[in-house]
Structure 1
Amino acid sequence: MTALPQERRVVTAIPGPKSQELQARRTAAVAAGVGSVLPVFTTRAGGGIIEDVDGNRLIDFGSGIAVTSVGASAEAVVRRASAQLADFTHSCFMVTPYEGYVEVCEQLAELTPGDHAKKSALFNSGAEAVENAVKIARAYTKRQAVVVFDHGYHGRTNLTMALTAKNMPYKNGFGPFAPEIYRVPVAYGYRWPSGPENAGAEASAQAIDMISKQIGAENVAAVIIEPVLGEGGFIEPAKGFLPAIAQFAKDNGIVFVADEIQSGFCRTGQWFASEDEGIVPDLITTAKGIAGGLPLSAVTGRAEIMDAAHAGGLGGTYGGNPVACAAALGAIETMKELDLNARAKRIEEVMKTRLAAVQEKYDIVGDVRGRGAMIAIELVKSGTKDPNPEVTAALAKACHSVGLLVLTCGTYGNVLRFLPPLVIGEDLLNEGLDLLEQAFAGV
């Protein structure tokens, strides 16, 4: 898969002296509002390893936030994107189109849930895809209201900040936000007052009641939900919740939008997380894992809904860039060839077994959850369910110092999330989990 040796190596402090020099340059030149989880500067990456400027090799449990699922230098992605670079970098699909864009849309029609006629439009980022899903839903329904859910994350543009639940760091000080956005409860099993077994039925009833009473179902253009909530803490809505919301949308002429930007493309052990409960979204938004690290996103959905926007109403200069489309075709080729859905399921099996043992040993682990290679642990204060962001940060720091890259998330900042590349070797996966266990022992 990659020429980069697939072994952890720590030769300096992390970050090392060269990374620290670059960090000083970065501080002088890059806006302070752009953060970094770990200021080690990458020179090479592939498989399950990131190599930095100091020669350290870190085990990658982040995949650039679920982007490099096929690895950060997958052969088919590099081959196809390189060939396209040599032919032409850009023509703008809205000026003179090209086959790669069409081919990506054909693949999306084939891979996304449902056997109805589908069409797609391509963009650059997840937030752009979500914005365009809203535009399309409004054009189709001739309605304005949009319903989103507690703990949801949908992006950093003005409209998607309004859709996103968490204030800090995403929204604070950046308003005013777009109107006609309404937020309702989600079935967060671990924190549902009457327990996870009741969360699906109770939360869906509450959400539907709020939509009906406070907005009026006939005013709602779209409901938008992540089938596994990413930034909010890798929350899997309790069973029954998604089908109930999808059915309510169908009964009321509301466009049901699945935001699969983080959960799509084999990440949860299925092509799309919606498949777990047989959900067939009207529209599905994708990005992150779609193109092996090149900027590309898509809205895919029922042909009659996708065609509701007038000609010229959708698009953008770089949307569906030819090099990014070539990379996406390489990523999809890799996913099929290596059966990355099966790999994701195996990663889940290994991780959940190991993490269950950690939970058994440490009562600060409140919950182990997730599917495929989208796994998280929620950390709490001993003997309670009170969020413990302090220990979460300390654990992440301890992992980073020994060469394991992990990310945090969660509305309360108390979730360690694991997003290893789907091509990671099992030896590296287990070594990473050893390091995590050592971090627990130390913290």
Structure 2
Amino acid sequence: MPEIVEQQTGNLAVAAAGKQDPFVSGKIDSEWLKKLCLDSGADDVGLVEIGREALADQRDDILSAFPRTKTLIAIVCRLHRESVRAQARNIANTEFHVVGHRLNSATRKIMRALEDLGVWSVSDSWGFPMNVDAAWPGKMWIVSQKPVAVEAGLGKMGLHRSVLHPKYGVHIYLAVIMLEKEATAYDRPVDFDPCLKCNLCAAVCPSGAIAKDGNFDFSSCFTHDYREKLGGFADWVENIVKSKDEFDYRKRVSERETVSMWQNLSFGGNDKCAYCFAVCPAGENVRGGYEENKDAFVKEVVKPLQAKKEKIFVIPGSDAEEFVARRFAHKDIARVSNGIRPRSIEGFLSGASWLFQRGRSEGLDATYHFTFTGAEQAEATIMIKNKTIDIKKGHQGDADLHITADSQTWLGFLAKEKNLAWAMITRKIKTRGSISLFPAFGKCFPS
């Protein structure tokens, strides 16, 4: 088998090159490189230089993983949209797995072909595995693929926070290859938005994570859709540990959930939802079926997912809990933890905006100063006003409540491993200002 793979990748390089020299003044020919990607199984491809200003926030991570990086190759593999739309989510998940493996296969063919020509390259996974052991619960991926794809001209970010390809819409998976060579030409973002402003993704979202006004609740999406992955899996394990016996476990976890988790472990991580993928009509190849008869599209694609009786996983006290009870009363609410517990002060501060529940913050107008001492020292300001959150380094403005905390005690409190009352009695956590603002702050971040 290794000999066959090597022969196939070698032939790809020759076929892509033809009689053309792939190198021009030390750079790699962009058209040749794109043809190689398409011949290797990609459905579309775009190129971005590492120095692009829009990628400044992830450049250090990329260069840390592959210091030779000069060019980022963004590739697309399309999804079969009717499979993605199926009410039976095992059909959709099968498609996700198949295309994910196809994407990994394409990147390997491209890299092996480049290697045969003496060109170095590295690719992060399209999804999993991620760098979990070093980074959870923070940024576990090397390349943020969506911003790269946007810069490579492969689409615009949609309301549902997925890239909308001009032709295939949301029905794509992405991968990025880091390349040591400069290319002769680079792509730019598209100058139009494929989004049809239909808001169907917001209408079908069972956890209320997608809002019509553009807000996206990461915590609610993650808690439900990723119930059988990452933190959701960790919470399931803790339910096993906490159970006194098999009968107690059955009260905590239904038999269907247990068998579903077995399937997840045996055949790959599955999504509980991805309904936003199912209903999105954006893209040249997709929009016709929606625009020709919008009522029929909603009846056939959207309504069945809205009416589906299913369990929605939410954090107690979250916006999602209130939303499901109000909007989808026929769906069952399962109150769980999403397993996200920051293990550093940096992680707490960087992740707070992702976990913030704007509905729970209604009426709160306060500035919080944090001073962390001990093993991890830092100062920060968190301002909550008009159902928004703003986090800054250092102490900015006048504080309504100043919290001084030993860093390890604070992290233990967030993980429910330390008792807040005892921490305050022992002066490991101290406050100055309106103490009523402390529980008001906690209400914005249920766990």
TM-score under structure 1 length normalisation: 0.25
Higher relative contact order (CA 8 A, sep 6+): 1
Q: Radius of gyration: which is bigger?
A: 2
